[in-house]
Structure formats: C-alpha cells, structure tokens
Structure 1
Amino acid sequence: MLDKRSPVPIYYQLEELIKSSIEEGKLLPGDSIPSEREYAELYDVSRMTVRQAITNLVHQGYLYRIKGKGTFIQNQKIEQRLQGLTSFSEEMKSRGFSPSTELLQFQIKKADELILHELQLEGPQEIYHLKRLRLADFVPMALETVCLPTLLLPNVTENIARGSLYSYVEDELHLQIDYATQEIEATVANAEESELLKIPKGSPTLTIKRICYLENGVAFESAKTVFRGDRYKFTVDVKRI
C-alpha cells in the first residue's frame, strides 16, 4: 500500500508497487494494467500522480501503451553484461532460454576492402558471408551479419552456420577464442530489420560491431548484430582510474 505520510513521493511509491507486481510475476507480459482512473480511485490519489508513475515505467521499459486500448506489461529486457565474451547461444542458455537460428543468407564471396582491413587479410581473399536471425524461445531477438575468412575456418557449412560458430571454432577446429573489440551504437530499425525482428519500423535498436580474435591475435570474425531495444539492455562495471 501507499504511505501518504512518507517523504517518498506518492508517484514513486506507486511506480515501485507496480514494478514489484511485474517482477514477482503477479502481472505477466501482455497483461493490461488498470486505467489511470481505476488506480486513482483504488489508492485515493490524483490521476496526474498515476500518470507520472505509469509514464516513468513506460520509459523504463516495464510498460507499453497502445493508443485507444490501454497500457500493457512489456516483455522484460534481457540484461547482458559486457565483461565477458560469450556467444548468443551461450548467453541465452545461461538465462534459461532456448536459442535457435534462422539462416537467411550463406555465401562465399570475395572480401571487400573494409572486411580485408578488419580481418587483417591481404587480398584478394574469400570469406563466408552470413546473415542470421537469432531467436530465444522462438522470439526474434537479434539480426546478425557475420564475415569469416575461409582459409582460417575451412568447411563451414550451412548446418554449422545455424548453430554456434564459437562452438565450431573451439570444439571442432580446436582454436582458442581470446578477445574482441566492440562498438555499441544506438540505432533505429530499418524496413528489413523491422520485418525480421517483428518490431515497428523506426523502433529503437542497439547495434554492436565486433571484431573477434584468437589467442594468437589473428582476427577470425567481423560481425554486426542489431538487437531489439525493447528486449535488450547491456551493463558494464567501470572503475575509476
């Protein structure tokens, strides 16, 4: 219940009350919440107070509004830490999801100048060019474009490309993956991303560009992954230097 004698603002108390109901599973993704009027009458507060609490939860990603229909519980975001280097499959399994991959494109072609530079190759060289839709419990989560050098990683097949490439590199080729450099950028979904990720065009997305290296310092992967902004958030610990 709300404590009107508390120095904590009423809107914040209501915000935390709704948030707790979501986190405890009392309100499930897709459920509608009571209207502003119903909340105002239930807790004897102003509709403006209710509106502020709900708006804050929309901005935080707990709720979403549909014009003319109401406010609903949002699917909770997957929190991915940036300290360690893990594959999509490893990350999803660690969080209790079943990962899968829809292979949209599989090509062997000549690397352009940018890819030659990123993979530290002297041209001309051929690469595998893959486009993959990554899913968790059959829900589209990310769209990934990957380039791999064919000389370093021989015999990559479409079947291998549908699974974990990192597992193939380490378990089948017995190469040790060491580290990656990553760039993270706030982006919006274009027409293709919107269609494949099942989100409205122009929706917020997070794009990570990654170059991944083996323990001997050789680059083996150039990848761009577009994550749904409504399902992902990235966290990192930083230390003052």
Structure 2
Amino acid sequence: MIDKQSPIPIYYQIQEHLRSMIENKELKPGEAIPSERELAEKYEISRMTVRQAITNLANEGLLVREKGKGSFVAEKKIEQPLMQLTSFSEDMRRRGIEPGTLVKEFQIVKASVKISEELQLPEGEEIYQLNRLRLGDGEPMAYEILSLPKEKLPLISEEIVKGSFYNYIEKEMGLSIERAVQSFEPSLATELESEMLNIEVGSPVLLLRRTTYLSDGSPFEHVKSTYRGDRYKFVAEMKR
C-alpha cells in the first residue's frame, strides 16, 4: 500500500488509504481505526507521519478523536437546512433521534454590551444566562450559551429550558416566533468545548450565533452554539 519511492508524500498515501476504507465501508461509522503506533509499526514509518494523515481526516470530519480512546470513523452527519427556523428538539425528532438536554448552569446576570445590543436592552439589565449541552440519543451534539431577557420572559426556569424552548414560547406563552438572524463559521474546540462535547481540544467545530425575534419584531433570544464538526453540516438551497 505504501510506496516509499513515490513522489506522493507518505502521509497522503496513508490518508487516502484510510479514506478508501471508510468510503468502501471496510471501516464503519463508530469503528476505531488502528492506533498511530500500530500503523507506524505496520508500515515502518514515524508516528508523526501517521498523525498528520489522521489529523487531516479528522479536520475533514471523516474521523473523530476521543480523549484517551483513539480515533473513530465519524457517524453520518446530520443535515440542518439554513432556510428554516426550527428548534434543536424538532430537528432531532424529525430525523428519528431522541433529543436531550443537560443544563450545566442557569443564572441571572447583567447583560454585556454585546448581548444588550442583540436583545435591545439597556446595558447592564438582568438576563437569564443558560449553559446547556444538547444531546442526540444520549450523545453530545452541541454546547449552547443562551441569553434571555428576564423582563420579557419572567417565568422561565431551569426545568422549562430542559425541553423544547420554542414549544414553550409558542404553546405555553402564546407568542409567535417570526424570524431569526444567524451567522456561522468554522472554529476549533476550546478546552471547555472539548470537555462538553467529548472531543479533542482543537477539533473542528461549527460556531453559530443567532438572535430570534417574535412577530412584534422584538428579540427574545440570543444563542451561541458550538456544534461538533464531525456530526453536523448545514445545507442551503439557493435559486437564481
């Protein structure tokens, strides 16, 4: 498999061989690939060369690294359309996946300058700040920091935000959600994000920021979400 006389770099040969095994389902989603040491010994190359091949595939989202366990073939990515405003719970259930939420922190804080602007509040006004881990079939999918205006949503509790927050807003409060402004960009997992999402520090993630508005034009939510890059991709349909 490895031709050390070839002008093609050895790390690239390893990388493409592993890619072929994944595409041909010789290595299946969730299955561990051989360790760096095993591959290095098998092909009599350095572990650094093997590591580069694995890193490249992890950056593409074909492999996922788990701390202390090794590298695994990534599960099929969940596609989320960009032109439709849905909640995380709605997205999961639509795909036959059971959603879940672990609330890591729920507190009342004074809004920062940035959050005040997003929620159209006086600077320093009190807001609910919620840090929560979103799960799909028990597996970490996204880590969210949610900011909510306390005056507009006075009865919000930790129990409410464990479920579908949008469902509560519309069904329980009788409010109408109209639109959202969202941005997303590639990023690398911080130490906190890696701990929350059970991925290596520096793993590729998708960073989303969204402000959501009611039908009267007022914002009621700002959320910063970090999605696992190996499990998510966003799809947009464009017409000319």
1:19 aligns with 2:20: no
Aligned to 2:179: 179
Aligned to 1:217: 217
Which sections of structure 2, spanning at least 5 residues, go unmatched? 1-15, 40-53
Kindly indicate whether the alpha-carbon contact (under 8 Å) linking 1:27 and 1:73 is maintained by their aligned counterparts in 2.
yes
Shift of 1:101: 0.5
Aligned residue type for 2:74: Q
Matches of residues 47-58 of structure 1 in structure 2 within 5 Å? none
* TM-score, normalised relative to structure 1: 0.75
Kindly indicate whether the alpha-carbon contact (under 8 Å) linking 1:110 and 1:127 is maintained by their aligned counterparts in 2.
yes
Aligned residue type for 1:94: R
**CA pair 18-212 structure 1, distance change in 2 beyond 3 A:** same
Which sections of structure 1, spanning at least 5 residues, go unmatched? 1-11, 37-53
Corresponding residue pairs, total: 208
Shift of 1:123: 4.4
Aligned to 1:103: 103
**CA pair 238-56 structure 1, distance change in 2 beyond 3 A:** farther
Aligned residue type for 1:145: I
Shift of 1:234: 0.7
Aligned to 1:154: 154
Shift of 1:125: 2.2
Aligned residue type for 1:182: Q
**Distance in 2, Cα, partners of 1:115 & 1:73:** 38
Greater relative CO (CA pairs within 8 A, separation 6+): 2
**Distance in 1, Cα, partners of 2:126 & 2:222:** 14
Kindly indicate whether the alpha-carbon contact (under 8 Å) linking 2:116 and 2:123 is maintained by their aligned counterparts in 1.
yes
Aligned to 1:29: 30
1:156-195 CA deviation, whole Å, 9 max, x = no partner? 1110121111111111101000110011111101110011
Aligned to 2:141: 141
**CA pair 226-18 structure 1, distance change in 2 beyond 3 A:** closer
**Distance in 1, Cα, partners of 2:117 & 2:168:** 24
**CA pair 201-65 structure 1, distance change in 2 beyond 3 A:** closer
**Distance in 1, Cα, partners of 2:97 & 2:185:** 25
Aligned to 1:82: 82
Aligned to 1:232: 232
| Higher Cα Rg, which structure | 1
Identity over the aligned pairs, expressed in percent?
46
Aligned residue type for 1:116: S
Aligned residue type for 1:178: E
